[in-house]
Amino acid sequence: MKPNYVRVIIDRAIQREFDYSVPETLAERIGIGSRVRVPFRDKSALATVLAMPEHSDAKGIRPIEALVGEAPAISESLLELAKWMSAYYCCPLETVMRSLLPQVIRRAEVGWKKQLFVQPLTKIDSDKIDNLRKRAPRQAELLEAIAKLEKPMPAAQLLRKTSFDNQTLRALAKRGLIELREEAVERDPHAEEQFIETTNLELNPEQALALNKITDALAASETAKPILLHGVTGSGKTEIYLQAIRIALERGKSAIVLVPEISLTPQTVERFKSRFAEAHEVVAVLHSHLSEGERHDEWHKIHSGRARIVIGARSAVFAPLKDLGLIIVDEEHETTYKQEEAPRYHARDVAVVRAKIEKCAVVLGSATPSLESYYNATTGKYELLALTQRVDHQRMPLMRIVDLRQERRKEKIAPILSEKLSQAIADRLEKREQTILFLNRRGFSTSLLCSNCGEARNCPNCSVALTFHRHMARLSCHLCGHTAAVPKKCPACGKDALIYAGFGTEKVESTVSHLFPKANVRRMDADSMTRKEAYRETLRNFRTGKIDILVGTQMIAKGLHFPNVTLVGIINADLALHLPDFRAGERTFQLLTQVAGRAGRGETAGEVFVQTYTPFSPSIQFARHHDFAGYFEQELEFRERCDFPPFKHAILITVRSAHEGRAKLSAETLVRRLKESLGSEFILGDATAAPLEKLQGQFRFHILLRGEAIMRLSRLVRETLDKLPLPEDVVATVDVDPYQLL
Ligand code: ADP
Ligand code: ZN
């Protein structure tokens, strides 16, 4: 039966569905999930087909203008996923669609790259060439080369190879001897690279057991639980993923591998491309550095079924693969899986839901699982698989805690490098081994204070101090990007009494270079890695031993393998601990464990120095003893006592405005309305000034809600907000399962 009508949502969020009629000519090809162009008000707009009703009661129905793309862009399962996200994350379906379909596909502005191909028109015999040689010897020579081609060749490539010019080629075409034809070509970001095929490694017993369980889940995908693979760094998780994907592929299924953007390094990609090197197209890679054109082509490669494995960051969870068999979420605890703009989804949780909808297996892997996932494993919602040994039977690195309070007593001011840590670095330099120094804070000095009046230089738009960056000799705000010149005198009291306080990676780099003038020191953070190539280059130089000491932010904490690194120094372990965030302890534990995992992956055992003012805080102590179970137990107890996840879901509403009073009033009104509509099963906090009171010129107020029935809570919040008219300059955003509480 041919569809009469389509029900669509328009890309621009208006939170309503509209009906259109379907012209005869399009009826055969249109389907649920198709992208269409429709007349809307007096313009035309892009939209997605949600349903195809036989009747419509809408008045003044107009026909759709065009169908965009051949097959429906979005499968029915993905549409179901989008609807779930809309309900769960308290966010319009149109906004969800923005994440679901890459912009290049949504806007349908970028097309295929066209290239001119050369092909002999008919079989060219030597007579023809000899004939031509008398009149146009150069043309004849080129024709001879073309006659030898087995298949059409891009004109540019042919000319480059034969060093003829375009004119000669055109002349041949004019004579009707060859054909020049435009054809679409794929932009492959990895076209130039060669991947040498690798084969399965023989698994150790723990790995084999884990793979078996995953294979079982692949077979019983309708009923299998999500799997949490808890394996220490270097325990061979990736090898298991590779073998599980191979099995899925053999069964005619496809697979998605999610990795945090930061660990989507050339190394990671190479491992996957090499294992499946039998067909160049089979692995598609999605990350934020792709050009529009490349993203367009990768998406089509996946959508058309030529790619069967997708490896990518957060949004790859929406990859339009058919016959999905397996989703892997590596480093599932990573907070970068959470999108910090609407739709504020968490890719790991979306992966679990997509797996349920598509009836496929899902594996969450981590050396330091999130509290939520581990809790799900202990309650039986997930299945827990553990890898307790490193593949190479390496011992875990030795963790040494350096008490900065004692160091301060010795030196009056706390040094950046304690004596113990600098001795350890000197020792490594002597042995020609490498060191990583970690500090999660950029810049040189983190504030500029007046020692006379106590005023700090704050950002005019945000409630934070400006950081001094020495390489640009300016003050800069890490939140909004505002920069300012460094004043000579205190602008508040006029005294020449400004002092620099606090330190970031830039200062660590300069201190270390100063202390070890012979060592080659490099810094890796968002400031020093602005060029795309700089990152690869620094990693390469570190790998080949040209760099002795690498100083960096979280950029260096994750997923990098350097066998010659035997020392890791954590300059200040307390940075995360003092954030007003219930996950502060969890983050510290994870960070210490992950950073420590960088030490001693080769022949030599590693050593980690943790500098801290709170040596007895539980997350530091448990990380020191590599005691995940101990840490989990005490953290869980704290969360239960305070009604935090995983026991209760949280929703954070932020109300902001350039006008402080209006933001506050709106937040307070919202709290009153919520009080009326929420039952007593939910915990509703007061409207409070956000820890980061002012951001980019906007005053911010927080309302925190908690409860178990998250879908219901989400719905009630949406309904309350929809009914509450906010002043024009006040914005309320809703974050379900928030990770940013600032
Ligand atoms: P993880 O992902 O848990 O950090 P990897 O899969 O990267 O661990 O494994 C660490 C190293 O050990 C890699 O170099 C990998 O090739 C190697 N490896 C993994 N499994 C085996 C095995 N069964 N036999 C030999 N080497 C292995
Ligand atoms: Zn700012």
From the CA of 203, how far away is ligand 1's center (Å)? 9
Q: Give a yes or no: residue 692 inside a domain.
A: yes
- Closest residue by Cα to residue 535 from 521, 525, 520, 547: 525
Mean pLDDT across the stretch 587-604?
A: 78
Q: Which of 199, 229, 238, 562 to mutate to test the pocket of ligand 1 (most atoms within 8 A of CB)?
A: 238
Confidence of residue 168 (pLDDT cuts 50, 70, 90): confident
* Helix (H), strand (E) at residue 196: none
Nearby residues for ligand 2 (ion, Cβ within 5 Å) = 459, 461-462, 477, 479-480, 482
Q: Which residues of 296-324 are buried (b: 16+ CB within 10 A; e: fewer)?
A: bbbbbbbbeeebbbbbbbbbbbbbbbeeb
Return d(Cα 73, Cα 58) in angstroms, integer: 26
Ligand 1, closest atom to CA 391? 12
> In the prediction, which pLDDT does 413 show?
61
From the CA of 394, how far away is ligand 2's center (Å)? 45
Cβ(237) – ligand 1 distance below 6 Å: yes
Confidence of residue 100 (pLDDT cuts 50, 70, 90): very high
Q: Give a yes or no: residue 191 inside a domain.
A: no
Give the model confidence (pLDDT) of 261-297 as tens digits.
Answer: 877 777 888 899 999 988 778 999 998 888 888 899 8
Q: Give a yes or no: residue 28 inside a domain.
A: yes
Residue nearest to atom 15 of ligand 1 (CA): 236
Cβ(366) – ligand 1 distance below 6 Å: no
**Residue 705 scores a pLDDT above 90:** yes
Number of domains making up the chain: 5
> In the prediction, which pLDDT does 192 show?
66
Q: CATH number of the domain that 388 lies in?
A: 3.40.50.300
**Single-letter code of the amino acid located at 614:** T
**Cβ–Cβ < 8 Å for 263, 556:** no
Clarify whether residues 129 and 256 are in a common domain: no
Cβ(726) – ligand 1 distance below 6 Å: no
Clarify whether residues 309 and 406 are in a common domain: no
Confidence of residue 1 (pLDDT cuts 50, 70, 90): low
Q: CATH number of the domain that 13 lies in?
A: 3.40.1440.60
Confidence of residue 326 (pLDDT cuts 50, 70, 90): very high
Q: Give a yes or no: residue 73 inside a domain.
A: yes
Higher pLDDT, 75 or 577: 75
- Closest residue by Cα to residue 262 from 450, 529, 485: 529
**Residue 459 scores a pLDDT above 60:** yes
> In the prediction, which pLDDT does 732 show?
97
Give the model confidence (pLDDT) of 596-633 as tens digits.
Answer: 777 765 566 789 999 998 899 899 999 999 899 999 99
Cβ(203) – ligand 1 distance below 6 Å: yes
Clarify whether residues 355 and 261 are in a common domain: yes
From the CA of 234, how far away is ligand 1's center (Å)? 6
Clarify whether residues 13 and 75 are in a common domain: yes
Which ligand ends up closest to the CA of 467?
A: 2
From the CA of 478, how far away is ligand 2's center (Å)? 7
Cβ(236) – ligand 1 distance below 6 Å: yes
Mean pLDDT across the stretch 136-158?
A: 81
Domain of 322 in residue numbering reads as 205-392
Q: Among 68-77, 112-121, 547-556, which is the least confidently predicted range?
A: 112-121
> In the prediction, which pLDDT does 553 show?
86
Return d(Cα 159, Cα 575) in angstroms, integer: 59
Return d(Cα 610, Cα 599) in angstroms, integer: 13
Cβ(391) – ligand 1 distance below 6 Å: yes
**Single residue among 603, 638, 673 that ends a domain in this structure:** 638
Give the model confidence (pLDDT) of 366-420 as tens digits.
Answer: 999 999 999 999 999 999 999 998 887 777 788 999 998 887 777 666 678 999 9
Clarify whether residues 261 and 352 are in a common domain: yes
Phi and psi at residue 667, to the nearest 5°: -65, -40
**What is the pLDDT of the chain when averaged over all its residues?**
89
Q: Give a yes or no: residue 462 inside a domain.
A: no
From the CA of 575, how far away is ligand 1's center (Å)? 32
Clarify whether residues 421 and 515 are in a common domain: yes
**Single residue among 375, 392, 409 that ends a domain in this structure:** 392
Q: Which of 200, 228, 239, 387 to mutate to test the pocket of ligand 1 (most atoms within 8 A of CB)?
A: 239
Q: CATH number of the domain that 683 lies in?
A: 3.30.70.600
For residue 568, the SS3 value is strand
Cβ(389) – ligand 1 distance below 6 Å: no
* Helix (H), strand (E) at residue 387: strand 383-387
Give the model confidence (pLDDT) of 204-250 as tens digits.
Answer: 999 999 999 999 999 987 889 999 999 988 899 999 999 999 999 99
**Cβ–Cβ < 8 Å for 596, 399:** yes
Percent of the chain with pLDDT over 70: 95
Clarify whether residues 291 and 435 are in a common domain: no
Q: Which value, in Å, is the radius of gyration of the alpha carbons in the chain?
A: 30
Q: Which residues of 36-74 are buried (b: 16+ CB within 10 A; e: fewer)?
A: bebebeeeebbbbbbebeeeeeeeeeeebbebbeeebbb
Confidence of residue 499 (pLDDT cuts 50, 70, 90): confident
Give the model confidence (pLDDT) of 338-369 as tens digits.
Answer: 999 999 999 999 999 999 999 999 999 999 99
**Single residue among 107, 132, 157 that ends a domain in this structure:** 107
Here the tokens at position 309 are 């494995």
Clarify whether residues 353 and 247 are in a common domain: yes
- Would you list the DSSP string of 408-436? HHHHSS--SS-HHHHHHHHHHHHHT-EEE
**Cβ–Cβ < 8 Å for 248, 218:** yes
Return d(Cα 291, Cα 448) in angstroms, integer: 40
> In the prediction, which pLDDT does 195 show?
77
> In the prediction, which pLDDT does 402 show?
93
Give the model confidence (pLDDT) of 550-561 as tens digits.
Answer: 999 877 766 567
Percent of the chain with pLDDT over 90: 55
Cβ(239) – ligand 1 distance below 6 Å: yes
Q: Give a yes or no: residue 192 inside a domain.
A: no
Clarify whether residues 507 and 623 are in a common domain: yes
- Residue in the block written with tokens 């004939």: 131
Residue nearest to atom 9 of ligand 1 (CA): 236
Q: Give a yes or no: residue 354 inside a domain.
A: yes
Cβ(735) – ligand 1 distance below 6 Å: no
Clarify whether residues 290 and 320 are in a common domain: yes
Q: Give a yes or no: residue 161 inside a domain.
A: yes
Cβ(238) – ligand 1 distance below 6 Å: yes
Clarify whether residues 556 and 430 are in a common domain: yes
Clarify whether residues 252 and 274 are in a common domain: yes
